[in-house]
Every structure is written in C-alpha cells, then in structure tokens.
Amino acid sequence: MADRPDGNLTRLARARPFIPPPKAIAAVKHRLAELPEGLRAHIERTRAVGLSIAFNLGVDAAKADFALAAHDLFRAAPSEALLDDARRLGWDPDDYEAAEPLLLHGPVAGLWLEKEVRFEERSVVSAITYHTTYAPGLGDLAAAVFLADKVEPGKLYRGDWLIEVRDLAFASRASDAIILYLTKLSEKLRSEGSTPHPRTAEAVAWLRDRASMKSPPPP
C-alpha cells in the first residue's frame, strides 16, 4: 500500500505562493518596454492600487500584480491588429467589438498569455481578458484587477462617482463597487449616443443575483 502524503506537506503545497513562470515574466517585461510612456505609467499606478484592493479582498497579491502588469499590453495596438490578433488567437469578435476594436485589448492580452506564452493560471488569464467589460462568473481576483484599473489616481478626474467606486473597493465591497461603476459607465455611454457592451449588463445582473442569494429573506 502506498504511503499517504503527509498532511502538513499537502497544506504547504496548497499555500505555496504564486510565482509566474520565468518565460511569462520575460514576455510581459518585453512587451511592457515597448509600450508608450503614458500607458506604462497607468499600468504602474494600477499595480500600486491593486495591491491594496487585493489585500482587502483576501486575493493573492502576486496574482493581482502580474495580471495588472499584463492587462494593457495590447492597449496601444491599432484596431486592425487587435481584430486580426483576436481571430488568430481564437476569439470571435462580436458586433460591438468589431465596431470598437479597443474592447478586444483585454481578450487579446489574455489569449496571448495563454496560447503563445503558455501561461496556465486560468484565474489570471480571465482577470486580464475581462478587465474592460467584466463578466458573469468571475472571482475576487478579477474583481481586484477590474477595480484597480478603474480607480487608479490618473482616472479619478473622469467623474465624481469614481471616488465612491474607489471607496467601496477599499472597503472590500467589490460587488457594490463594480455594479456602481458599470451602471454609471452605461449611463454615460448612452448619454453620448453609444451602446454599452451587453456583457456589462449581464455582469451587473449576475452580481445582483449573487448578492440577493447571500441576503437573508425579507420578513
């Protein structure tokens, strides 16, 4: 009969800190070095904010930091390149993404990491992929990445309501923060004659359903 694994060793293995593979670190650093200075500055601000949000949510800070380092690697790519890369990597752009290819910079970054760099940490890939629109079914890591990207200091001038989003995020109320952000953004886009991506409404509905299931039944 085979020996049982030692319980302490098993727990230690589960608690092992996340360390990105050297190939992934090198690939991300290479692309970061090629980005415009302003975009690199944004990424560094999100990484700083992300550490605080990740800590408050009990999220692995190293995963959040790596995801934020990689989230905008394709943000400066031309529209045609984003469309071509998305299709090449297996993402079928919908009508909204075809009309506004910038929406694809997250999916392209996530798929690039997964398929070309062979990075296998699924939660990090998903956090990167959906950091612009969010999506139903995402966990706390994706929430931390999404919120850090939206409330880094360089973006707070875009609306007073972003201060409230930031405060909710720092208070560990990630779902409330995301719902507020997506709702306000959708209102803003509609007032400008644009249509929000349907994924944002699906995400809000999912977050509200999840919150209602956690709430006690009414008296």
Q: Between 45 and 16, where is the model more confident?
A: 45
Model confidence at 215, pLDDT cuts 50, 70, 90, reads: low
- Say which residues have a Cβ less than 8 Å from residue 120's Cβ, sequence separation at least 6: 114
CB crowding 93-130: b at 16 or more within 10 Å, else e: beeebeeebebbbbbbbbbbbbeebebebebbbbbbbb
- Say which residue the tokens 């506004």 belong to: 100
pLDDT tens figures, 154-210: 999 988 999 999 999 999 999 999 999 999 999 999 999 999 999 999 999 999 998
For residue 158, what pLDDT is reported? Answer: 87
pLDDT of residue 16: 72
Query: Could you give the percent of the chain with pLDDT greater than 70?
Result: 91
State residue 8's pLDDT score: 43
pLDDT reading at 14 higher than 60: no
pTM of the full predicted structure? 0.89
- 161 three-state secondary structure: helix
Residues near 173 by beta carbon (within 8 Å), at least 6 away in sequence: none
Round to whole Å and give the CA distance between 183 and 179: 6
Query: 156, exposed or middle or buried, with CB in 10 Å at 0-12, 13-18, 19+?
Result: middle
Q: Does domain 20-214 have CATH number 1.10.3720.10?
A: no
Using the predicted structure, report yes or no on whether residue 112 has a pLDDT greater than 60.
yes
Residue 6 confidence (pLDDT)? 45
Task: Find the helix packing angle between 174-191 and 140-151, rounded to 10°.
Answer: 50
d(CA 151, CA 67): 16
Which is higher by pLDDT, 11 or 75? 75
